[in-house]
């Protein structure tokens, strides 16, 4: 019997897309797959579409539904706890895989050393209407021990989460997703990178839908998101000076991005105290000054604000 793969689908209010996602899982060429769908208390017809899609399929499909919204991390954890296999992959209910996504990755993972606990690739980008609009690009796509590389990524992620393919042992070694945090993929990937090697697989066989609007720009998200990002990074301080410097630089970059997106002065002033002046004295000082002066600059001195922003950007890039 070939290794068993759990293909988890996270469903929430995507009734118009979930059928295609589910069919892309059902139509995988790999023979030993269990599909596990978690619907997170959708208020649209997602569940009805899911049941209608699977009623006449030959593959096993496990449907888990929540009577209240529990969030992405808790949804992922439910799938991991209920469905047991040798490998895991996860996909949102508005994205989809090409038919050989799983078979390619099982073949790869079975052929490389077990010290590689995760493989990843890049995705094809599609519009909300389903048209191909581009291909995911990254400056580097390293394999091996990639923790320091992950920390140094200030405004990019390693990959889209749907391209990650995990050995089941990862969840034994690292634990489950932290349900208290936003950015569940960042936190989990950093924890994994402390324990295992990553392997880059150069194959575009997943489609990631770029949505026109989301909740990420709201001020509520800015507050919780900034705090959550700091909590994640603080889990990884104290290992060595080089890593601590990279983490501190990333914190300053995040605060500057929050400032430009309109985060509250009080929040930024509080969070910058969690950054090290000693590790980045010029960047820290310029950013702190900008945070304090920003309300005044926005009202009456836009030219000076622009010049100060350029100085901060140069100091912390």
Q: Would you list the domain boundaries of the chain?
A: 5-209, 219-316
Local structure of 131: helix, strand or coil: coil
CA distances for 289 relative to 255, 265, 275, angstroms: 13, 11, 14
Antiparallel, parallel or unpaired: β 116-120 and 165-167: antiparallel
**Among the listed ranges 74-88, 132-146, 247-261, 297-311, which one has the minimum average pLDDT value?**
297-311
**What does the pLDDT look like over 179-212, one tens digit per residue?**
988 777 889 999 999 999 999 999 999 999 998 7
Quote the pTM value: 0.90
5-209 CATH fold: Spore Coat Polysaccharide Biosynthesis Protein SpsA; Chain A (3.90.550)
Q: Which of 10, 11, 67, 71 is nearest to 228 (CA)?
A: 71
User: What's the pLDDT tens digit per position in 246-273?
Assistant: 999 999 999 999 998 888 899 999 999 9
């Amino acid at each position: 019997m070939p290794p068993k793969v759990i293909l988890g689908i996270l469903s929430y209010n995507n009734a118009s897309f979930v059928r295609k996602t589910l069919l892309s899982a059902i139509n995988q060429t790999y023979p030993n797959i269990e599909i596990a769908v978690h619907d997170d208390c959708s208020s649209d017809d997602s569940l009805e579409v899911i049941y209608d899609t699977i009623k006449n399929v030959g593959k096993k499909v496990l449907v888990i539904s929540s009577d209240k919204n529990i969030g992405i991390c808790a949804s992922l954890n439910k799938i991991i706890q209920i469905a047991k296999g040798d490998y895991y992959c996860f996909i949102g209910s508005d994205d989809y895989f090409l038919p050989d996504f799983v078979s390619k990755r099982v073949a790869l993972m079975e052929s490389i050393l077990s010290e590689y606990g995760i493989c990843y690739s890049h995705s094809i980008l599609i519009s909300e209407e389903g048209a191909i609009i581009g291909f995911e690009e990254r400056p580097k796509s390293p394999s091996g021990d990639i923790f320091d590389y992950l920390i140094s990524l200030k405004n990019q992620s390693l990959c889209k989460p749907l391209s990650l393919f995990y050995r089941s042992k990862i969840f034994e070694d690292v634990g489950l997703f932290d349900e208290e945090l936003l950015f569940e993929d960042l936190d989990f990937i950093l924890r994994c990178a402390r324990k295992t090697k990553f392997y880059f697989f150069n194959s575009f066989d997943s489609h990631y839908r770029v949505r026109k609007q989301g909740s990420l720009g709201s001020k509520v998200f800015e507050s919780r998101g900034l705090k959550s990002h700091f909590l994640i990074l603080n889990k990884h301080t104290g290992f060595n000076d080089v890593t601590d410097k990279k983490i501190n630089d990333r914190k300053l970059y995040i605060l500057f991005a929050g400032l430009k997106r309109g985060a509250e002065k009080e929040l930024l002033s509080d969070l910058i105290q969690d950054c090290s002046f000693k590790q980045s004295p010029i960047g820290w000082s310029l950013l702190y000054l900008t945070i304090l002066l920003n309300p005044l600059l926005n009202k009456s001195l836009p030219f000076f604000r622009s010049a100060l922003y350029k100085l901060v950007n140069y100091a912390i890039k």
